[in-house]
A and B are shown apart, each in its own frame.
Chain A
């Protein structure tokens, strides 16, 4: 069991990093978008390993579903995608900033004194999240309905902005 999790983690981590690099390095922007989808998907796999099954489902629904569709639509609707992503003058500074960010993250991960709980987490988490979100006494009913109003504003705003007169 433990070794199985370790093996699947390393496979997923390797595929995530490889696909993330492919997103940046591929010239064909459509291929880059497809690798981005693969990257999102393997991150969902990592969430599964962390016993965050609802987060994994949300990752697949929103990132693999919605965000990927939006990006691919944007590519399909754009005219000059054949040229791919031309390399700009900011390549070297971008690399420097990226490395700096990586160094900071590694430093934080290594130097932080991580608290490990001995308690076994809730499994599956989806039902517990639903109870916390929707239950009448201590749930978040009003924010949930306000989220609906926010989404409504998003729909109408998008239609008003995109519609041709």
Chain B
């Protein structure tokens, strides 16, 4: 069991190594004068072929996005129940299936309410 998670660890280390090496490699190559440095204003601008952005990148987001966050959180909690259920569905048989069906038919009311009240759309 733990060995399988060990593979995730190896993947994480590989991903981290990739990220770090792609960041540090250009800096090291520059430092040891392997790559030349001939800057000009166009080359060192943020977007070489595009428009510079206007204003700050941090803006206040529309409040309506919060509905999506709230509904996502509820769905996320459903997934926590769904995950062990899906793992053991083979042994739980029809009873387990009906159980989850009841669970979802209760919760779908909330999503139907959200849909009917039109909180997921804006003008």
Of the stretches A78-86, A91-99, A108-116, the one at the interface is A78-86
The number of chain B residues with a CB under 8 A from chain A is 47
Residues A81 and B87 in contact in the complex (CB < 8 Å), given A155-B113, A159-B67: no
List residues of A (105-162) whose CB comes within 8 Å of B's CBs. Answer: 123-124, 126-127, 129-131, 133-136, 141, 144-145, 147-149, 151-152, 154-156, 158-159, 162
Do the beta carbons of A73 and B84 come within 8 Å of each other? Answer: no
**B102 near A: Cβ within 8 Å?**
yes
Task: Choose among B1, B117, B119 the residue that contacts A51 (Cβ–Cβ < 8 A).
Answer: B1
Complex interface: chain B residues within 8 A of A148 (CB) = 102-104, 106-107
Of the stretches A18-26, A31-39, A52-60, the one at the interface is A52-60
Task: Choose among A51, A77, A144 the residue that contacts B2 (Cβ–Cβ < 8 A).
Answer: A51
Complex interface: chain B residues within 8 A of A131 (CB) = 88, 91-92
Do the beta carbons of B103 and A144 come within 8 Å of each other? Answer: yes
**B9 near A: Cβ within 8 Å?**
yes
List residues of B (47-66) whose CB comes within 8 Å of A's CBs. Answer: 56, 58, 60-61, 63, 65-66
B74 → A minimal CB distance (Å):
5
Task: Choose among A61, A82, A134, A159 the residue that contacts B88 (Cβ–Cβ < 8 A).
Answer: A134
Give Cα A10–Cα B39 distance, bound, in whole angstroms.
44
Do the beta carbons of B70 and A147 come within 8 Å of each other? Answer: no
> What does DSSP make chain B's interface, helix, strand, loop or mixed?
helix
Interface string of B62-90 (1 = CB under 8 A from A): 01011101111110111111011101100
B5 → A minimal CB distance (Å):
5
Task: Choose among B6, B60, B88, B92 the residue that contacts A78 (Cβ–Cβ < 8 A).
Answer: B60
Complex interface: chain B residues within 8 A of A158 (CB) = 70
5 more A-B residue pairs beyond the given contacts A61-B79, A77-B63, with a C-beta to C-beta distance below 8 A: A127-B87, A148-B107, A149-B106, A151-B110, A152-B110
Give Cα A79–Cα B63 distance, bound, in whole angstroms.
11
Do the beta carbons of B81 and A156 come within 8 Å of each other? Answer: no
Closest to A78 in B: B60
Closest to B5 in A: A48
**A69 near B: Cβ within 8 Å?**
yes
Do the beta carbons of B84 and A126 come within 8 Å of each other? Answer: yes
Complex interface: chain A residues within 8 A of B102 (CB) = 145, 148
A-B contact pairs, 6 of them (CB 8 A): A53-B5, A70-B73, A73-B69, A82-B56, A133-B84, A148-B106
Closest to B68 in A: A73
Give Cα A77–Cα B67 distance, bound, in whole angstroms.
12
